[in-house]
Amino acid sequence: MTKTAWVFPGQGSQLIGMGVDLQDIPVAKAKFELAEKILGWSVLDICQGDETTLACTLYTQPCLYVVESILSDLLKGKVDLPQLVAGHSLGEYVALYAAEVFDFESGLRLVKKRAELMHSADGGKMAALMKFDRDQLTTVLNNTPDVVLANDNSEAQVVISGTPEGVENVLSQVKAKKAIALNVSGAFHSPLMQGAAKEFLTVLESVEFKEAKIPVLSNVDPRPTTDSQVLKSKLTQQMTNSVRWRETMLQLAQAGVTEIIEIGPGKVLCGLIKRTCKDIALEAIGTVEQLDGKAPALVS
């Protein structure tokens, strides 16, 4: 028996042109128009602009939320609902929307505020490490103040976050095949985001969370739940805590998931899952053409 999970990628997966092929579909057109009223700018214009602007946190996060939410809505009209949902960082907001924890507008207002706060954060640094000694990294992090494991993406790929001095100190001590400084303004998913998280909390508390129609795996505690208050509590911790994606993938496998659909641009999460859970069938849905492959065409 097939057991399906839907997963939603976060910042870093954005692509120029994403969502543009959706604009003539009525349900998508309505959401693009609503998003422009809420944001004060056009998602479609940004997605058709230059890479630098799209890669700016202020624009990336709302664009991904809008495009992925539309894709999720359209896919729901074609296939059975999944048994589990999860999202990577920003993608968790789309997972919560897909599970009907909040409506599209509420989610976008949360993402808009989150993007503004993270965009304005400064004084931090993030770096990705590939093919490294995990035990050595853990030891160095434990002995280095102001640096944490921000994204535990897979056994062979992580992101560290903290003060510039602290991050450089860790990089100088840990052997890795590749280490790349990320082009971000702040130390996302670290305690250095505490000020932004506190301000964000006032907005988050004003949004009503409903019981999830589909169990959601949170970034900070990847155990599936439908409890609205538990999901909200976990989301309050997300900005300052690690994205435990490696554990999320393992949890999906342990739950007996046999098929995972990545909903959004590219195949970033599919790549991570393929190397971690080799027996799970993978599919990426990020375009009208890929959606049309699930059933009769959406547009004439």
Angle 184-190-194 from CA coordinates, rounded to 5°: 100
Q: How far apart are CA 194 and CA 199, in angstroms?
A: 9
Q: How far apart are CA 106 and CA 141, in angstroms?
A: 37
Tokens, residue 184: 């971000």
Answer yes or no: 189 catalytic.
Answer: yes
- The torsion angles phi and psi of 70, rounded to 5 degrees, stand at -65, -45
Query: Which residue in the list 69, 119, 161, 189 is annotated as catalytic?
Result: 189
Task: DSSP letter for 209, please.
Answer: P
End-to-end CA distance of the chain: give it in Å, rounded.
34
The strand order across the sheet containing 125-132 reads: 147-154, 157-162, 125-132, 176-181
Query: Which residue in the list 89, 161, 190, 218 is annotated as catalytic?
Result: 89
The residues facing 162 across adjacent strands are: 125, 147
Residue with tokens 């009907």: 100
Q: Which residues are catalytic?
A: 89, 189
